[in-house]
Chains A and B, each alone.
Chain A
């Protein structure tokens, strides 16, 4: 038992180290063309190794690989996210982000959140991403700039991300091993954990319809949202209105009014 845990831990450490090295190699560091090409190729290889190791570790931790669909959409999400961060051209970065959003929507669907999967696609890929692209086209129509080819502290950033990922994965892995050590678990969840249904935790018999995998999923979600959380919905509506008014108010105050913006722009690069 102890040996298994330490082997998994060292495998996880190797995986996280490979991930950090891969991200560091892939991040823009202002190298010349040939060196950049080779380091990107090597970084991609290392990333594939890290992902494979992660799948192996996760299999021991909880069982990645049970659902092939989940594996595929999770890979799409993670690879899209990594490419968003390391791509030089910001336009390509935004398009990789759309792929990552598609992967996340797939993950949400597999996890049983049908409405949220569709809403994520609509809100992120449909609205937010298009806004980002509008701003990019407006501000940087020539594509990649010099500051897109260098990073702030690429090594430290990659190490920080790897440490965070390793700690989170260790903590998550501890959930499956032994009794819950993290927090007090509500009695309902304990009852669910006791049940042996293979697909989903079936709700208690006296449930008021809180099964995320039910057939009338969206209707129940709407009932919950507009029933128990009606005040929060109203607050979110006010928040949307205030942010709309605020953004209009900010953008209509052009910096040219005080002249500083024009001066800075003429003196700029």
Chain B
């Protein structure tokens, strides 16, 4: 049997999103980025479910994706509350800040000294200044009579 067109492609895209999310949740240490990766895995599953729904020509996958959306919203609310509480206790969004919860036979995560980065990600967009800055009398500006 051959599946309907685009079903296989949808399944492959879903698998790619799922694998990317898995890598993110395994590798990254920021709690927020880990949750974004989990949401990415849910998206991959949603794409797969819709593809299967198309293959079988019924509504099952669509209905299931609606419930996946609902559960994802609940999960995000609860998870963000936990992240906030964790941040309030440690002052960091670092998953390794909770490594005292690890198994006793596992090695400790030790942060090494980081070489200086070029901070490419920290360049934020700015607006180009336009026009001429008006001359403002500082004393008059601070003590004007009307607002």
Residues on A facing B (Cβ under 8 Å): 23, 27, 30-34, 36-37, 54, 58, 61-64, 66-67, 70, 74, 77-78, 81-82, 84-85, 87-90, 92-94, 97, 100-101, 104, 107-108, 110-113, 115-116, 119-120, 123-124, 127-128, 131-132, 135-136, 138-140, 143-154, 156-158, 160-162, 164-165, 168-169, 172-173, 175-176, 179-180, 185-186, 188-190, 192-193, 198-203, 210-212, 220-221, 224-225, 229, 232, 236, 239-240, 242-244, 246-247, 250-251, 254-256, 260-261, 264-265, 268-269
Chain A's nearest CB lies how many Å from the CB of B9? Answer: 5
Point out the residues of chain B lying under 8 angstroms from A112, CB to CB: 50, 54
Q: If the complex has contacts A70-B9, A210-B57, are A62 and B4 also in contact, measured as CB distance less than 8 A?
A: no
The distance in angstroms between the C-alpha atoms of A100 and B95, with both chains bound, is: 24
The distance in angstroms between the C-alpha atoms of A145 and B94, with both chains bound, is: 9
Q: Could you count the A-B residue pairs with CB atoms below 8 Å apart for me: how many are there?
A: 349
Cβ contact within 8 Å between B112 and A70: no
Point out the residues of chain A lying under 8 angstroms from B92, CB to CB: 145, 147, 268-269
Chain B's nearest CB lies how many Å from the CB of A91? Answer: 9
Point out the residues of chain A lying under 8 angstroms from B15, CB to CB: 164-165, 168-169, 172
Cβ contact within 8 Å between A153 and B27: yes
Point out the residues of chain B lying under 8 angstroms from A244, CB to CB: 77
Considering the complex, which residues of chain B in the window 64-115 have a beta carbon less than 8 Å from any beta carbon of chain A? Answer: 65-67, 69-78, 80-85, 87-96, 109, 111-112, 114-115
For the side of the interface on B, what is the size category? 35 or more
Point out the residues of chain A lying under 8 angstroms from B72, CB to CB: 123-124, 128
Cβ contact within 8 Å between A32 and B90: no
Beyond the given pairs A150-B111, A165-B16, A265-B89, 14 more chain A to chain B contacts, judged by CB atoms under 8 angstroms and listed by A's residue number, are A32-B117, A66-B5, A81-B16, A85-B23, A90-B32, A115-B62, A124-B69, A135-B80, A139-B93, A144-B119, A147-B30, A160-B26, A224-B62, A247-B81
Contact partner of B23 (CB less than 8 A), chosen from A23, A32, A113, A132, is A23
Point out the residues of chain B lying under 8 angstroms from A172, CB to CB: 8, 11-12, 15
The distance in angstroms between the C-alpha atoms of A147 and B111, with both chains bound, is: 9
Judge if B133 is at the interface, Cβ distance under 8 Å.
no
Considering the complex, which residues of chain B in the window 9-36 have a beta carbon less than 8 Å from any beta carbon of chain A? Answer: 9-13, 15-24, 26-30, 32-33, 35-36
Cβ contact within 8 Å between A88 and B121: yes
Q: Could you name 27 residue pairs across A and B whose Cβ atoms are closer than 8 Å?
A: A27-B27, A32-B115, A33-B118, A36-B118, A78-B13, A78-B17, A78-B20, A85-B23, A89-B122, A116-B65, A124-B69, A131-B80, A147-B93, A147-B94, A147-B95, A148-B30, A150-B114, A152-B26, A152-B28, A152-B29, A164-B15, A201-B57, A224-B59, A225-B63, A240-B74, A251-B84, A255-B85
Contact partner of A132 (CB less than 8 A), chosen from B28, B35, B46, B50, is B35
Chain B's nearest CB lies how many Å from the CB of A106? Answer: 10
The distance in angstroms between the C-alpha atoms of A180 and B46, with both chains bound, is: 22
Cβ contact within 8 Å between A212 and B54: yes
Contact partner of B37 (CB less than 8 A), chosen from A85, A89, A202, A240, is A85
The distance in angstroms between the C-alpha atoms of A153 and B76, with both chains bound, is: 26
Chain A's nearest CB lies how many Å from the CB of B95? Answer: 8
Point out the residues of chain B lying under 8 angstroms from A211, CB to CB: 57
Specify the chain B residue showing the minimal Cβ separation from A148.
Answer: B30
Residues on B facing A (Cβ under 8 Å): 1-13, 15-24, 26-30, 32-33, 35-37, 39-40, 43, 46-47, 50-51, 53-59, 62-63, 65-67, 69-78, 80-85, 87-96, 109, 111-112, 114-122
